[in-house]
């Protein structure tokens, strides 16, 4: 009888132990599942943007200026070394090469030895890129890079990629900001290069439709920032959504920025277009984009003492 009772007690102990172990495992699994399903607010981060570099001392100072602001992403928006090879420019951007994304300007195709093959060897391969138009996410921002020197018209592979990419980003609940790099300006005050009306008529309606916030360009070697703009089908001048100088609280309208100020040279601005909020043709520097959840702050930081000569803020109030 005693032996039988001992066996029963032992079986009970084993059963209780197994039950406790299973219960604890389930609790742990549920806790891990809850943690994995949690979507924390994105951390603050910043993006540096500059185009029209060259390999001179001003470009080196822009690189140092960018490094001093510790960006998480650096975008070189076209016209990089102006040489047959990318070596001299790659030495300038080496400190932040791992953070770098690039767009193709006309000088990549016209100056680089080997044409398109040279572009691949000198610029894409060193950065691990496979195409000249692509997109990527950084926290709650989606960045699309286009190539205006490849076929971009409706029906082309690039057009289809751009439209599908913007559509997908617009329906992603984790994306609050959509930024586009388009090396040729779609809007500009009168300067050396005019705005490209073909690109504008094809893509500005798409940008409006899918909620693009900012478009970065270069080509004109100066700094320009437009008001938030909507495409105007009835005339050459766009519709200005908000004529405030620097603080915007609307999801509507796209701000177009030219930051061709990396160091190559300056192009004079002849006058200020009515849709341009701020412009400068005297300073080199870069455009810094700070993103904190649903607030975006842009600053044009010039070389030297790191002075800010233009600043704007967009706050998204819609859910």
Q: What is the mean pLDDT of residues 153-162?
A: 98
Tokens standing for residue 128: 């691990």
Pick from 146, 306, 307, 118: nearest CA to 212: 146
CATH code for the structural domain at 45-315: 3.60.21.10
pLDDT at res. 116: 87
CA angle 104, 107, 112 (to 5 degrees): 95
Q: What is the mean pLDDT of residues 241-248?
A: 91
196 close to 186: Cβ distance less than 8 angstroms: yes
56 close to 50: Cβ distance less than 8 angstroms: no
Q: How far from 131 is each of 103, 116, 159, CA to CA, in Å?
A: 10, 11, 14
Look up tokens 């500005």; give the residue: 204
pLDDT at res. 285: 98
Which is it for strands 276-280 and 223-226: parallel, antiparallel or unpaired?
antiparallel
pLDDT tens digits, one per residue of 196-240: 999 999 999 999 999 999 999 999 999 999 999 999 986 668 999
212 close to 196: Cβ distance less than 8 angstroms: no
DSSP 210-264: TT--EEEE-SSSSEEEEPPEE--TTSSSPEES---SSEE--S-SBEEEEE--SSS
Q: pTM to 2 decimals?
A: 0.86
pLDDT at res. 28: 34
Pick from 175, 172, 137: nearest CA to 47: 137
pLDDT at 6 over 70: no
Please report which residue ranges of the chain form alpha helices under DSSP H.
Answer: 2-37, 57-68, 87-93, 106-111, 115-119, 157-170, 197-209
pLDDT tens digits, one per residue of 257-285: 999 999 999 999 999 999 999 999 999 99
pLDDT tens digits, one per residue of 51-92: 999 999 999 999 999 999 999 999 999 999 999 999 999 999
Look up tokens 């859910």; give the residue: 319
Task: Give residue 9's pLDDT band: very low, low, confident or very high (50, 70, 90).
Answer: very low
pLDDT tens digits, one per residue of 99-141: 999 999 999 999 999 888 999 999 999 999 999 999 999 999 9
Return d(Cα 150, Cα 157) in angstroms, integer.
Answer: 10
């Amino acid at each position: 009888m005693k032996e039988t009772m001992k066996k029963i007690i032992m079986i009970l102990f084993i059963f209780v132990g197994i039950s406790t172990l299973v219960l604890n495992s389930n609790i742990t699994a549920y806790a891990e599942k809850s943690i994995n399903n949690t979507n924390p607010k994105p951390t603050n981060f910043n993006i540096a943007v500059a185009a029209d570099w060259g390999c001179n001392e001003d470009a080196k100072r822009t690189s140092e200026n960018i490094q001093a602001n510790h960006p998480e992403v650096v975008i070189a928006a076209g016209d990089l070394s102006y040489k047959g090879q990318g070596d001299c420019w790659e030495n300038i951007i080496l400190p932040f090469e791992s953070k770098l994304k690039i767009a193709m300007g006309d000088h990549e195709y016209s100056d680089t030895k080997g044409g398109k093959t040279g572009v691949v060897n000198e610029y894409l391969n060193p950065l691990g890129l496979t195409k000249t138009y692509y997109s990527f996410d950084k926290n709650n921002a989606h960045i699309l890079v286009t190539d205006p020197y490849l076929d971009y018209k409706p029906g082309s592979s690039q057009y289809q990629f751009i439209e599908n990419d913007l559509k997908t980003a617009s329906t992603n609940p984790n994306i609050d900001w959509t930024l586009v790099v388009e090396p040729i300006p779609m809007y500009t005050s009168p300067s050396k290069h005019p705005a490209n009306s073909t690109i504008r008529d094809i893509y500005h309606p798409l940008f409006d439709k899918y909620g693009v916030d900012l478009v970065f360009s270069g080509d004109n070697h100066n700094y320009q920032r437009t008001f938030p703009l909507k495409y105007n089908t009835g005339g050459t001048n766009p519709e200005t959504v908000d004529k405030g100088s620097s603080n915007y609280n609307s999801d509507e309208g796209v701000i177009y920025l030219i930051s061709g100020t990396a160091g190559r040279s300056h192009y004079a601005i002849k006058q200020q277009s009515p849709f341009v909020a701020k412009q400068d043709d005297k300073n080199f520097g870069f455009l810094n984009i700070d993103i904190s959840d649903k607030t975006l702050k842009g600053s044009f930081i010039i070389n030297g003492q790191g002075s800010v000569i233009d600043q704007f803020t967009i706050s998204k109030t819609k859910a």
